[in-house]
Structures are given as C-alpha cells and as structure tokens.
Amino acid sequence: MKPNFSELARMYGVDRRTVKKYWNGYQGKPKSRNKPSKLDKYFDRISFLMSIRGITIRAAYERLKDEEGGVIGSYSNFRKYVTRKGLRGKKTSKGHPRFETLPGIQAQVDWKENMKLHSSSGDEFVVNVFNYKLGYSRYCYFEYRQTKTQQDVYCSPKELDRKKVES
C-alpha cells in the first residue's frame, strides 16, 4: 500500500517529491566517486617526472604539457592528482649548511646609492646609505652619507667597534 506522500512531507517539513524519492529506494549521494581521471593514462610518465630529484610539481606539469601539446588540463587539477596519488617527491636534505667564520675575519659592505627622500615641505634630499655587516656576529652598521668614499669601504672591524662604542 502506498503512503500519502503529501501528509508525510508536511509532517517532516520536506517536499512531497523528496519523500517519494526516498520511498522508492534513494539512499543519497555516494560518499566517493569512482570516476577515472584523464591523467591516469599519463601516470607512469608523471611518476617518472616526479621521481627526478629537485623537480617541482609545476615543472613536471609544464614539461608534460609541452610534450602532450597542452591536453592534460589545468595546473590545479594536475597538482591535486599528484598529491592524491602520493607522487610528490620526498625532501631529503634540510637545506644548505650555514658558512660560519671566526670573529674579525669577514665582513660585507653594501651601498644603497642615490636614494631620494622628500621632506614634508617638498624638499628633495639625495643620500647614500653605507652598510657594513660583520660575518660572525651578523652585526649591521649603517651610516647615512652624502658622498661615497673608499675610506668607508676599507674600514677595519676594530675601527667599526670604536665607532660603535662612540655612538
């Protein structure tokens, strides 16, 4: 015997067609789809490209796109496919070791040249910024100069320490 779908719909607060659909055996949308990806036919090539040390997903995508004439789809879809299939390369190294020197051995000198600054009244000032960075302590010394001189470049770390104490 068929129930009254309109009465059941009023009782549960849904549309009568929804009640009828579930009465006829509908169980809801499936949790997952078994739809094959269009990248499945390139799986071996993608896994080979991702096994190359240092290659990124973007580089593998661009290479495969060039080889196949651009028919492999979007980058976001490719990235999701690589991640879902577990083809992402493992990072083996933890970066490059830091190069350390002993105190007083190394320093780096840089200039920011001809930097234009404007005052609130509209005046323009042209200055040079001298940067002297010690290698061991990473201490940075900045000086604002109107001109660039060799004396600043050849300054010894002892003179720098003296300047640091004076300021």
DSSP class of residue 128? Answer: E
Q: Is the pLDDT of residue 161 over 70?
A: no
Mean pLDDT of the chain: 84
**Residues 59-72: tens digit of each pLDDT:** 999 999 998 887 88
136: nearest Cα among 156, 108, 106, 161: 106
**Residues 10-24: tens digit of each pLDDT:** 999 999 999 999 999
**Residues 120-160: tens digit of each pLDDT:** 999 998 888 888 888 888 889 888 776 777 776 666 555 65
Q: Is the pLDDT of residue 92 over 70?
A: no
SS3 79: helix
Contact in structure between 149 and 132 (CB atoms under 8 Å): no
CA 155 vs. chain centroid, Å, equals 39
pLDDT at 59: 93
Q: Is the pLDDT of residue 167 over 70?
A: no
pLDDT at 43: 93
Note the pTM of the prediction, 2 decimals.
0.41
Q: For 23, how many CA atoms within 13 A lie in the half-sphere containing its CB? A: 14
pLDDT band at 98 (very low <50, low <70, confident <90, very high): confident
pLDDT band at 74 (very low <50, low <70, confident <90, very high): very high
